[in-house]
């Protein structure tokens, strides 16, 4: 089992090959998108030459019949363009959805396989912000990259057409390209640094929002609304300022690019008019040249967006890499526990610390004999809950061994260990859904009779009668429609249903009245026939 300790956040970017696996899977859709995009760009060449023909061949000679033919061709090309654009957009949405689902599935698969210390590195808001970077990378790979790179390829086609129309005017366009590229590359390093700051500020603000909304009961109970709002306003201000600083760089680079593009347009108009005066080109050719020249400068502007997006996704890849590059628990890589293993739980000289030089447990020894009831008694803060997580293999000791029977649990499959050693924390977590859904969270199916039996052992047999729809009552987010005692007993019943060899209960009676405590104690005694029980409590009675 992983021995990964909480550490500083990794700065290693997630490799592009990680995304390439998914993109290759949907490569047929990409090929279709590229072919449709290529057709759209070829159709885009029709309009400039339509104007050239009208100005040079039709208007001077007032050829009305020819005008009708040219307009019909223009209308047909426009209809084709409309159809291809609609098809491209729909296919783009379909591709983006499939890629997003694949990315999301792989990221959550990895996230759920990470060891518990990983989740102590960041708050929930920071983790969610990192996962949200998937959309940024998806947009870059699916939308931005495909369109801009295809445009850059067609720049060569457009330049060939421009050279055929006028070499001097084409030289003006070519002279501007290095200037545009210089602007993009010059701003890149500054933009990347500011994007990192922007990400961190956004993560901090989201984390603060999640924390305050999750703890709204505590906020209201201690009348801390004003202070919490002030803190939210501070993180929001920092987030907006970070966005502003990124925006300043984008505006400056865009306006410099605009100056270059407008200078190119003015130069083309001025020199082109002189060439028309000299008879070197016709007025129609000048207009066609201007329209096609925009198709050269637009992709270069698109390249600026591509460059800015590249700086952005480098930050996104780094933040997402904090998750994907982290080592996972060895699910499926370690042997399962023997089927007939003795349900004897033993700690051998176990030490554990959340922070270096601050051990919670040190040289701890303990043994729970098969089918016995053992108590872990002590005041708060001495590591009783840590014992429960170590017993179930949720945390791993820094030194020493946790043994089930004769097996070191760190050398066996984590799922198999946690099926054999169930741990019910002091503050159990229920999920949105019905009572039945929560009881069956680790099982595909169980009869109502089995569910009722588990609830009876957990002193919750009256719960189904008290709830309006019995087992099919929605318990709300985090079980919010149930009392603390009810949530605790439902969690115990949920663990009983899996028939573990060892059951560790952390303060199981802390939220119960005396009557419920006696019922639960009687139910626990019944479990001793088939299960080794360890009860963590601060009360020896």
Residues 372/533, Cβ–Cβ less than 8 Å: yes
Listed in sequence order, the residues at least 6 apart from 341 whose beta carbon sits closer than 8 Å to its beta carbon are 404, 405, 406, 407, 420, 501
Read off the pLDDT of residues 13-58 as tens digits, 9 standing for 90 and up: 788 888 888 888 888 888 888 888 888 888 888 888 888 888 888 8
209-244: pLDDT as tens digits: 888 887 776 777 667 788 888 888 999 999 999 999
- Count Cβ atoms within 10 A of the Cβ of residue 278 and give its class: 0-12 exposed, 13-18 middle, 19 or more buried: exposed
Tens digit of each residue's pLDDT (9 = 90 or more) over 248-288: 988 888 888 888 888 888 998 899 899 888 888 888 888 88
Which pLDDT tens digit goes with each residue over 349-359? 999 998 877 88
| DSSP-based three-state secondary structure for 65 | helix
> Is a pLDDT exceeding 90 seen at residue 365?
yes
Q: How confident is the model at residue 516 (pLDDT cuts 50, 70, 90)?
A: confident
- What is the pLDDT at residue 202? 85
pLDDT value, residue 421: 94
Q: According to CATH, where is 3.40.50.300 located in the chain?
A: 345-537
pLDDT bucket at 541, cuts 50 / 70 / 90: low
Q: Where in the chain is the domain with CATH 1.20.1560.10?
A: 16-324
Percent of the chain, pLDDT > 90?
Answer: 18
Domain 16-324: what homologous superfamily? Answer: ABC transporter type 1, transmembrane domain (1.20.1560.10)
Q: Which of 159-173, 201-215, 305-319, 402-416 shows the lowest mean pLDDT across its residues?
A: 305-319
Q: What is the DSSP letter of 538?
A: S
Superfamily designation of domain 345-537:
P-loop containing nucleotide triphosphate hydrolases (3.40.50.300)
Q: Across all residues in the chain, what is the average pLDDT?
A: 84
pLDDT tens across 156-181, in order?
888 888 888 889 998 988 888 888 87
pTM above 0.85, yes or no: no
pLDDT band at 4 (very low <50, low <70, confident <90, very high): very low
What is the arithmetic mean of pLDDT over 474-485? Answer: 85
Q: Which residue has the higher pLDDT, 142 or 111?
A: 111
What's the pLDDT band for 413 if we cut at 50, 70, 90?
A: very high
What single-letter DSSP state applies at residue 540? Answer: -
Output the six-digit token pair for 456.
């009876």
Residues in the chain, overall count: 541
Distance of alpha carbon 541 from alpha carbon 538, whole angstroms: 9
């Amino acid at each position: 089992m992983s021995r990964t300790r909480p550490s500083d956040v990794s700065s290693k970017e997630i490799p592009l090959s990680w995304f390439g696996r998914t993109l290759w899977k949907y490569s047929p859709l990409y090929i279709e998108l590229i072919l449709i995009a290529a057709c759209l760009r070829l159709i885009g060449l029709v309009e400039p030459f339509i104007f050239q023909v009208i100005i040079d061949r039709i208007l001077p000679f007032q050829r009305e019949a020819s005008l009708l033919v040219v307009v019909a061709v223009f209308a047909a090309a426009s209809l084709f363009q409309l159809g291809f654009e609609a098809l491209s957009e729909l296919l783009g949405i379909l591709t983006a959805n499939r890629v997003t689902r694949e990315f999301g599935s792989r990221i959550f698969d990895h996230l759920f396989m990470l060891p518990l210390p990983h989740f102590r590195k960041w708050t929930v808001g920071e983790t969610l912000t990192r996962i949200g970077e998937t959309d940024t990378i998806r947009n870059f790979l699916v939308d931005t990259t495909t369109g801009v790179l295809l445009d850059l390829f067609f720049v060569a086609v457009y330049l060939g057409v421009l050279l055929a129309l006028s070499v001097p005017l084409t030289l003006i366009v070519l002279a501007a390209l290095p200037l545009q590229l210089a602007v993009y590359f010059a701003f890149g390093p500054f933009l990347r640094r500011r994007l990192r700051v922007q990400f961190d500020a956004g993560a901090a603000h989201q984390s603060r929002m999640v924390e305050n909304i999750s703890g709204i009961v505590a906020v209201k109970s201690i009348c801390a609304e004003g202070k919490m709002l002030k803190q939210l306003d501070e993180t929001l201000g920092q987030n907006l300022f970070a966005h502003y600083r990124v925006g300043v760089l984008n505006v400056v680079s865009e306006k410099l690019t605009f100056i270059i593009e407008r200078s190119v347009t003015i130069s083309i108009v001025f020199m082109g008019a002189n060439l028309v005066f000299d008879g070197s080109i016709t007025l129609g050719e000048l207009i066609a040249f201007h329209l096609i020249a925009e198709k050269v400068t637009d992709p270069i502007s698109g390249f600026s967006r591509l460059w800015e997006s590249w700086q952005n996704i480098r930050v996104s890849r780094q933040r997402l890499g904090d998750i994907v590059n982290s080592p996972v628990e060895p699910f499926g890589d370690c042997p399962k526990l023997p089927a007939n293993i003795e349900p004897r739980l033993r700690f051998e000289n176990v030490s554990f610390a959340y922070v270096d030089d601050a051990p919670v447990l040190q040289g701890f020894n303990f043994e729970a004999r098969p089918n016995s009831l053992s108590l872990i008694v002590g005041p708060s803060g001495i590591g009783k809950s840590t014992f429960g997580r170590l017993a179930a293999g949720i945390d791993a000791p820094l030194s020493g061994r946790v043994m089930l029977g004769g097996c070191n649990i760190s050398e066996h499959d984590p799922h198999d260990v946690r099926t054999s050693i169930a741990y019910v924390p002091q503050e159990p977590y229920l999920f949105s859904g019905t009572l039945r859904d929560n009881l069956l969270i680790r099982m595909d199916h169980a009869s109502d009779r089995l569910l009722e039996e588990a609830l009876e052992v957990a002193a919750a047999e009256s719960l189904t009668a008290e709830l309006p729809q019995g087992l099919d009552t929605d318990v709300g987010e985090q079980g919010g429609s149930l009392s603390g005692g009810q949530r605790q007993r439902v969690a115990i019943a949920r663990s009983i249903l899996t028939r573990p060899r060892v059951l560790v209960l952390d303060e199981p009676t802390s939220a119960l009245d005396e009557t419920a405590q006696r019922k639960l104690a009687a139910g626990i005694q019944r479990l001793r026939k088939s299960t080794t029980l360890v009860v963590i409590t601060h009360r020896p009675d």
